[in-house]
Amino acid sequence: MVQPDISVICDVTKIDENGCNGSPDLIIEIVSKASVQRDLHEKYDLYEKCGVLEYWVVNPNDKSLNIFLLDRNGKYVPLKPLTYGDFVDSKVLADLKLDLNEVFQDLVKEPEEGYLLEGEKRLSS
């Protein structure tokens, strides 16, 4: 079982007290150094197999977004990678339009353990 960082379910009949029954329409994973392999391999394969229509992988470390769309054969087709300065439109959610400058504007740094805000320093113990 996996738990996406963000999932969008358009069909409310898929949702009950146990969660989502069936595939979400859109899943967004925000990768870290520790999760990138799992997100790009294990979860990619699972989401493709389960029929998730659109899968986004956001990498804050290199300010990139990779989008995979499910084709008619049930296989993901990658779109051109996007980065800081690009705009993104969801194919599944017509009204979802994002400016990646805004998405990546206030990032936290990813140290070996925990997160720090830009310019913040870790206190030594």
- Where the chain has pLDDT below 50, the residues are 125
What is the value of pTM for the model shown? 0.81
Domains for the chain: give ranges and CATH numbers: 6-117 (3.90.1570.10)
Give the alpha-carbon dihedral of 78, 70, 25, 89, to 10 degrees: 40
Give residue 125's pLDDT.
43
pLDDT single digits (tens) 28-63: 999 988 888 899 999 999 999 999 999 999 999 889
